[in-house]
Amino acid sequence: MLKVLFSPSEGKQSGGNESKTELLGSNKAREEILNEYNNLIKNSSEEEICNLFGFKKYSECQPYMNDIFSSPLMASIERYKGVAYDYLEYNSLEKKVQEYLKTNTIIFSNLYGPILGGDAIANYKVKQGNNVGNFIPDKFYKDRFTYQLDLYLNNDEILDLRAGYYDKFYKITKPYTTLKFLKNGKTVSHWAKAYRGIVLREVAKHDINSLDEFMSLEIEGLSVEEIQVTKNKREIIYNIV
């Protein structure tokens, strides 16, 4: 089976009506950082909370000032909103395509760590790169979850669509494929987010189950410029046309 690694987004949808479920990996370990986050929200100063969330005004923090253990839950693939998720257009997809995304996408959250697209999470806010109290999220999850992810992905092929920052959460040790996007010969950043969303959408729509199937997939607006292989990493370089 193919598993797609994906980034979260700073923006979130509010609300949710999902039931609580076990998340990917060790929920006992994850509770340590979630408890720390909850304590920070309840006991920190307005300035400290603004810093954690990455906001300038405390009024902007209000949508996130809820007990994370009793907040409404939503599938993570639906919770996030941002450029990549705008282009994914989850709500416009057929039910079976949505189920593919929930089952085969692993999102690397700045609070929850690696979670499946279908894992139900609360509305939260941790600015990328910020610590959660004494926890450094990327280091915490790399230390505590790498072995579990290696086991989980043991029989799967991997398409890594994460932004580079999220490599810190999990280093892939088996062969995998990643993508790079060029426009007029230059690497793009904003449009890379958009095309990661587009690629994930097309992978799900076509029920892609292997990297061989992915290599045969034609994606509108993209043409393969080059394929580079370094150790266990195969990088497909696309031109945006």
**What are the tokens at 67?**
């007990």
Fill in the amino acid letter for 19.
Answer: S
Region 83-103 average pLDDT: 97
Region 153-178 average pLDDT: 96
For residue range 121-160, list pLDDT tens digits in order. 999 999 999 999 999 999 999 999 999 999 999 999 999 9
> How much of the chain exceeds pLDDT 90, in percent?
93
**What are the tokens at 209?**
């189950």
pLDDT for residue 90: 97
Region 63-86 average pLDDT: 95
**How far is Cα of residue 26 from the mean position of the Cα atoms in its chain?**
17
pLDDT for residue 185: 87
Region 172-179 average pLDDT: 97
pLDDT for residue 189: 80
Strands 157-160 and 2-6: parallel
Q: Which residues pair with 107 in a beta bridge?
A: 6, 115
Which residue, chain included where needed, has tokens 């257009």? 89
Mean pLDDT in the chain? 95
Q: Is the pLDDT of residue 27 over 90?
A: no
User: What DSSP line would sit under the chain, residue for residue?
Assistant: -EEEEE---SEE-----BPP-PPSS-HHHHHHHHHHHHHHHHHS-HHHHHHHHT-SSGGGGGGG-S-TTTS-BEEHHHHEESHHHHHHTGGGS-HHHHHHHHHHEEEEETTTEEEETT-EE------TT--BTTB-HHHHHHHHHHHHHHHHTTTSEEEE---GGGGGT----S-EEEEEEEETTEE-SHHHHHHHHHHHHHHHHTT--SHHHHHT---TTEEEEEEEEETTEEEEEEEE-
Tell me which residue range forms the domain holding 137: 2-240
- The number of distinct structural domains making up the chain is 1
Region 16-27 average pLDDT: 91
Calculate the CA dihedral of residues 102, 35, 30, 131 and round it to 10 degrees: 90
Measure the CA–CA gap between 154 and 108, rounded to whole angstroms: 18
Which residue, chain included where needed, has tokens 């282009």? 87
Q: How confident is the model at residue 191 (pLDDT cuts 50, 70, 90)?
A: confident
Entry pTM = 0.96
For residue range 40-69, list pLDDT tens digits in order. 999 999 999 999 999 999 999 999 999 999
- Packing angle, helices 46-53 and 27-43, rounded to 10: 140
pLDDT for residue 3: 98
Region 85-111 average pLDDT: 97
**How far is Cα of residue 159 from the mean position of the Cα atoms in its chain?**
13
Cβ neighbors of 60 (< 8 A, separation 6 or more) are 50, 53
